[in-house]
Amino acid sequence: MIPAGLTLLLGGARSGKSRLAVALAAAQPGPVTVIATAEARDAEMAARIDLHRAQRPADWTTIEEPLALPEALEKAAAAPGTVIVDCLTVWVSNLIEAGHDDDEIGALADRAARLAARSPASVVAVTNEVGWGLVPVYPLGRRFRDVAGRVNAAWSAVAQRAFLVVAGRVLPLLPAESIRDVR
For the chain, list the domains and their CATH numbers.
Answer: 5-172 (3.40.50.300)
Q: Are 109 and 151 in contact (CB under 8 A)?
A: yes
Q: What percent of the chain has pLDDT over 90?
A: 81
Residue with the bigger pLDDT between 142 and 131: it is: 142
pLDDT digits (tens, 9 = 90+) for 15-50: 999 999 999 999 999 999 999 999 999 999 899 889
Region 130-149: what's the mean pLDDT? 94
Q: Is the pLDDT of residue 147 over 80?
A: yes
- Say what the pLDDT of residue 2 is: 85
Annotated catalytic residue within 17, 52, 56, 145: 52
Residue 1: pLDDT band (50, 70, 90) is: confident
Q: Is the pLDDT of residue 181 over 70?
A: no
Q: Is the pLDDT of residue 129 over 60?
A: yes
Tell me the pLDDT of the chain averaged across its residues: 94
- Say what the pLDDT of residue 44 is: 93
Q: Is the pLDDT of residue 10 over 90?
A: yes
Q: Is the pLDDT of residue 125 over 80?
A: yes
- Say what the pLDDT of residue 182 is: 60
Active site (annotated) includes residue 52: yes
Q: Please report, for the chain, how many H helices and E strands are present, in that order.
A: 6, 7
pLDDT digits (tens, 9 = 90+) for 83-101: 999 999 999 999 999 999 9
- How would you class 1 by CB atoms within 10 Å of its CB: exposed for 0-12, middle for 13-18, buried for 19 or more? exposed
Q: Is the pLDDT of residue 183 over 60?
A: no
Region 92-120: what's the mean pLDDT? 97
Q: Is the pLDDT of residue 141 over 60?
A: yes
The count of C-alpha atoms lying within 13 angstroms of the C-alpha of 153, restricted to the half-sphere facing its C-beta, is 11
